[in-house]
Structure 1
Amino acid sequence: MASYLSSKKSPTVSNLEKMNVVVTPEDKNDIHLGKAVIHDLREIVDKTKLLRIDGARTAISIITASTNGSNIQNEKKKVLLGKKIGLPVKRISGGKNVRAKILSSEESCWKYIQRKTRKNAISHEIKKIAYDFWLHPDNSRPSPNKTDIKRVRIAPKQFSKHTIHILDKTQTEIFHEFKIKYPEVSMNQRTFERLKPFFVRAASPKDRLTCCCRYHIEAKSLFLKCMEFRKKHIHPQLSEKRKNKFPVYEHLTDIAVATLCGKDTTNDCFNKACLDRKCTECGVRLLDFSDQELSDHPEAPTVSWEKYEYITVQNKRKLTLVRKCSKPSEMFAHFKHVLDHFAGHQFRAYWQNAQLKSLKENLPQNNCIVIHDYSENYACKERVEVQSTYFQRTEVTIHVSIIYRHSVLELGVESFPDDPCIVTEHFFVISSDEKHDQCFTSKVQSLVKEYLDSISYNVNVFHEFTDGCPVQYKSRNCFGTLRNICVENNYDLFVRNYFETSHAKGPQDAARGLIKNHVDLAVLRGSAVVQNAHDFFNYFEKT
């Protein structure tokens, strides 16, 4: 104590001097730069914090949002920061809400569930892994309904919103899969469920699925009926040894795999000849069916099942799910016919999704991915309208494109091969042209190219993903418009990929639902009048 009182320096400073701590010129520059920045911030804060105008409030909000980041919070320096720049701690803390509002995206939704934790608690990196696992396409899917938007309050009159994701499995099943994929992570189920994003919820009866795959729906329905028949009528009459010859499969995928040869060890996938049913060693004939299942005897039990058929309604062919009541032989014969094409269809759908995901995660430099899809035309409506306008509404065409590319320096952080930064953008084309054809698609491609050139993003390889609509993307006229696309746009390679039939649902559907819901709410509140495509475009340009 006497040594401390006799010296003007603290013991810590004295110990550092004894240790000969050397301050490099770079450290001195950082110190001088920090002092200069704090001095400039203090100067503008002193001039604007007492003003009661919108510009001054905006300036203070920008200062608090830019200074109150994760580094200040982790170091617990808010009090010291407030003293240095002349703002109260409460005003500094409010910058976190402003920051969350500015970053109203996937990051803001992740920031919402972050909490201050103990040092021995689960790290933010592990929590982010669990957060992303909930959003994996195998576990949850974005709702196709445009009104399914979830929002949370982050500050007074400030909200963060996100499209609702619906779970395809139970929370327990997802937790078990998480433990299998990440066995090194120590986490119980209750903690894992607390890390679920606020916009993810379990499925309910109102979540009616639309645009489903016909092949999957029909195959699943037949599979359940066939296995129910086998379990009820066949197994009780067989011995334990013969039951193994006619197994009751638990999943549709299991019986589809039973009709194929084993996976190729080199690439861990099935042979293409087996999936196309050109292999002579596998096929539906590998499955064993009992005499009762293939019987059409009059005394055989009658079964009820469903299949899709085209029926004529008012001179129009319409695909309808028709209920059948027949002998078991007809049901099992149709099931074998469906299985003959189902294995290849399912594998191609899963393979395409896996390849798209891999391409997005490992996107090479000067490459770009664009997913195109038309939205259902927006029918313009007014807040107060007369009765006759209900049948004479003007429609607006909305074309949605999801762009995946590397970040460029002009718009923020630059992407490098050893440190890639992939940017996701939504590109909307709004038009009064209601004819969805190859000319419209060609114009969208040119607009995307103009945008990429405007941000100085040089594209050598262009990857395009679309559905299989013939008029828009897959006809001979569509291929004719692509014959000179590499020369006209200076591409080295242009690749167009087609999704498997009825499997083109994705983020583009959620984006178009969100934009329509946004306009509907604006019209309902009276903040916008959208009567045509020009009004639609001007509203978004203004907001």
Structure 2
Amino acid sequence: MAIRNIQDVITSVKHKRNGEAKAALNILTSSVSGENISDRKRATKSLANILGVNSRTLQKGKKSRTKVLHSEHSLFLYTTRKTRSDALTERTKRIVHDFWLQSNVSRPTNNKNDIKRVRISPNVYSSHSCYILEKTQTEVFLQFKNEYPDEKMGQRAFEKCKPYFVRTAQFKDKVTCCCRQNVEMRSLFKSCMQFRKRLLSREGCSEVKLYESLSELVDDTLCTRSANTHQHKISCLDRLCSECGVCKFSMLPGELDESDVQISWERYEYKNVKVKGDKMIRKLVLKLEVSLHVTILHRHSVLEYDGKDSTAEEPNIITEQFFVISPDQKHDHHYTHCVQNLVSEYLKSINCEISVMHEFTDGCSSQYKSRHCMGDVSYSCSDFGYAKILRNYFETSHARGPQDAAGGFIKKQADLAVIRGTHVIQSSSDLFDFCPPRQTLLNVLDEFFDM
């Protein structure tokens, strides 16, 4: 019965030339041109014969259907149908939807195959390329509240209005351009913004903007994106447009003064590196490996340092995480001996007198079990001032503990910072500067271990 009704309607409107008849025909052909029909030529011909139209008409319906389902309007409709209609106005939903897509909030992934596909009705799907967040959702919400203080909404409602193709950063998204030009440009941009920040604090000018990212700077020199797309025109990107260009970039007088303080930034050069067979190759190294050694330190409290004393009758044990960040990539017995020395110096600096040191380590031969390691242990008492040192070894695969979780927490946060583009970590000093202050790190780790 439904097919007969469709046949009757198509028969009555397909020969008419007015706008209403054409619209009705387009609606009908688009509604019946689903994925199971449009992707099969035989099914398309069979359906065309049943409805009394040619295959070309159904192909036009397929194009109209695809255009509608892949438009920005359909993406916004999916967001609006997820929220309650009586909670937020359409204007607020649109503001939140567009805010999630700002360049300083999210960005497209580097993989063109990252496509998110959702079902919006029976046998109807909408798809869009994936975007990843440059920061956490809480940080995005706080930024939104600062920019739109008049919009009254909670974080839960704010996250519900997030486009379905925007997701948090993952480790697989750690794909970036490592070409020399890109790395040097990012370093130059960072140094220039630091120089501008100093000038703004000194001159107090509000006409220029302090950019957070290079993409934000480029966007200001281009024409505004159209409402239907989030991409710039190709003529603007090629600098062929007469309405935009670098002339829109405002600069301070101090930035144009060549006699002022010079800006320094990192610049990478090719160097000769020795490889196997006494051969030399020309190589450009963009990233340095970093060694992270974690020590879980259990000690008696010190009255002057901890505010509470520890006695044999009432012992008070303090647990600390001791991190050593080094560019040394060997991580051999010399490295561990240096870590022991740093631990000893720290204990002496807080007036914690240690007579007996108990060590619990894994069974790594290059760090703790070889003859060289035993030689270091034999000199540990004289080197560090202990009366006795006892080294205990865990059985194989039994040394997992809070030290691994603490080190993993630091590395995970560093990875996310690099993925989101908030920090550039290319050396051990960069990782050290990235780590929060001591007291803040201790509070974060305590909360992490209590979870």
TM-score by length of 2: 0.36
TM-score by length of 1: 0.30
